A and B are shown apart, each in its own frame.
Chain A
Amino acid sequence: MERILSQMPEFFTWANLALLGNAALMTLSMTLLGCLVGFALALALVMLRTAPGRWAVPLRVLCILYVEVFRRIPFLVVIYLVLFFIQTVSSDTSLFTIAVISICIYAIAYTADIIRGGIESVPHTQIEAARAMNMSHLQTMWHTILPQAWPVILPPALAFSVSFIKDTALVSQIGVFELTFRGKELNNQGYSGVLVYGTIALCYFAMSFPLSLLGQYLEGRLATPRSQRRLRKIRRP
C-alpha cells in the first residue's frame, strides 16, 4: 500500500497518461472499426443467406457453418490464426490490421446471428406482401423488413460491441499497443501492478460504461417508435 502511494506522483505523469490515452484510443478504434466492418459484412451475409432460390443454398450452408465454427473458437485462438495465416501470406501487415481483421471475423459470427434473429422477428406476411408486389429480395429487405427489424437488432449488436471493448485486451498477446499491452509495459518498468492495472481497469470502465448507457437510451427509443411519435403528437399544443 505504501509503495502504491509513493509511486503515484511518478506514475501519473503526463507522459504516462498520454501513453495510456493513446492506448485507450487504439482500443476504441480497433473495436469500432472491427465491429462496424464486421456488422456490415454480417448484414451482407445474412441478405445473401435469406435470399430465395436454389443458388443461395450453398451460401446458407456456408453461413451456418461460419457462425457455428467461429462462435465456438476462443477469440485468442482466432487472433493467433489470423496472425500466423497473414504472416505466411505477407510479412508487412501491421499488427493493428491483424487485430482489426480478427475482431471482424469474430464480430461477423456474432452479429450475423443477431441480424438473422431480428429479420425473423418481422412477420413473414410482410415479406409475402412485398413479394406479391414484385419487389426484389433486396428491395423487400431494405424498404420493409430491416426498418422493422432494427429495434430488435441494434440493442444486442451494440451491447456486443461495447462488451468487445474489453475483450480486445486479448490482442495485447500479439503485441498491439493497446491498453492492456501498455499496462504490461508500465508494470515491467517497476510500477506496482495494482496501481497500473487498477488504472487500466478504470480506463476500460470509463470507455464502456457511457457507451452502454447510450445503448440503453437507444433501446428505449427504438422499442416503441410509433407510440412515442403519437405521444409527441398528443403533447403538441
Chain B
Amino acid sequence: MPHLAVNDVYAKYGALEVLHGIAFEVDRGEVVSLVGPSGSGKSTVLRTLVGLTPVSRGSVEVDGTSIDYRSGRALKAARDRMAIVFQQYNLFQNMNVLRNVTLAPTKVKGRNRREVEEEAMELLALVGMSDKAGAYPDELSGGQQQRVAIARALALKPDILLLDEVTSALDPELVNEVLDAIRRLAREGMTMLLVSHEMAFVREVSSKVVFMDKGRVVETGAPARIFDAPESDRARDFFGKVLRG
C-alpha cells in the first residue's frame, strides 16, 4: 500500500480548472518530484493536498485512508500528516525564528513549550539556523528564511513534507544552502514530495519523477529514465530545453 496515493484528482481556481485528473503514488521514505513547465499545476497539486485549493473530483489516500476534504476533521487530519513549505517562505513576520517554529506545536497541539523549544533548536541546528533563533524574518536572507520555514514544517512532525519550489525565490548563491538541508532530510528517510526547477537536484535526490503538463501527468518514472529517455514528445521537448547546456 502506498504511503500517499493521489487518484484522478481534479481541482479548480474559481471557474478555471487547473488539474484534470492527476494520479501518482508516494511510498514511505521516498522522495518524489513533480516537474514540468510553469502553469502545469505542480504547485496546485501540493496546495490541494493540504486543502488550500479545493479538490473538485477524485480522491487522496494516506496509508489507504481516503481524505474527505469537505469535512473539517478530515482536513485537520490531513494537515497533521502533511506539512507544506512555500516558495515565498511565508514566515510570520511579527515573531522571531524560534517562535515561528514553536507556534503551531504549542498552540495547535497544546504541547509543553519548553519541550517544543528544545526540539525546535535541534531542528534549527539541522538546517543550520540555530544561531539565528532570536532574529526576525525581515532580518534574514531568503535562503535563511527558507531554512527556517523547513524547520517550522518539520516541527509539526509530518509524515510527508511538501516542498513547493522552495528555491525559486532565492538568489543563485543561496540555493545550495537550502538544497543541502533537503539532502540531509532525504538521507534521514523523510518522505518528501517536491516541486522544483532544479533539475540536477531533482535527479540526484528523487527516487521518482512525475512529469506534468497542462494539469495532467504525462509520464512517471525513475529520474534517469524520465530525464534521459522520455517517452512522450512533450517531455522530450521540455527536457530538451531545460537540460541543454
B93 touches which of A132, A133, A148 (Cβ 8 Å): A148
What's the Cα separation between A129 and B92 when bound, in Å?
8
A131 to B86, CA, bound (A): 13
Near A by CB (< 8 A), chain B positions 33-77 give 50-52, 76
Nearest A-chain residue to B52, judged by Cβ: A128
Given contacts A226-B136, A226-B138, is CB(A135)–CB(B107) below 8 Å?
yes
**Of the residues A126, A132, A136, contact of B92 by C-beta under 8 Å:** A126
A125 touches B92 (CB 8 A): no
Q: Indicate whether A125 sits within 8 Å of B86 (C-beta atoms), given known contacts A131-B52, A133-B156, A134-B108.
A: yes
A184 within 8 A of B: no
Pick from A132, A136, A148 the residue with the most CB of B within 10 Å: A132
**Nearest CB in chain B to that of A53: its residue:** B72
B103 touches A132 (CB 8 A): no
B interface majority secondary structure: loop
Which residues of chain B from 78 to 95 have any CB-CB distance to chain A below 8 Å in the complex? Answer: 79-80, 83-84, 86, 88, 90-95
In the complex, A226→B91 CA distance in Å?
15
**Majority DSSP secondary structure for residues of A touching B:** helix
Q: Does B104 contact A (CB under 8 A)?
A: yes
Residue with the greatest number of chain A CB neighbours at <10 A, chosen from B80, B90, B95: B90
Instruction: Write the A119-142 contact mask toward B (1 if CB under 8 angstroms, else 0).
Output: 000000110111111111001000
A134 with B79: CB separation less than 8 A: yes
How distant is B2 from chain A, measured CB to nearest CB, in Å?
22
Q: Which single member of B92, B95, B104 contacts A134 (CB below 8 Å)?
A: B104
Which residues does A use to contact B, with CB under 8 Å? Answer: 125-126, 128-136, 139, 143-144, 147-148, 226, 229-230
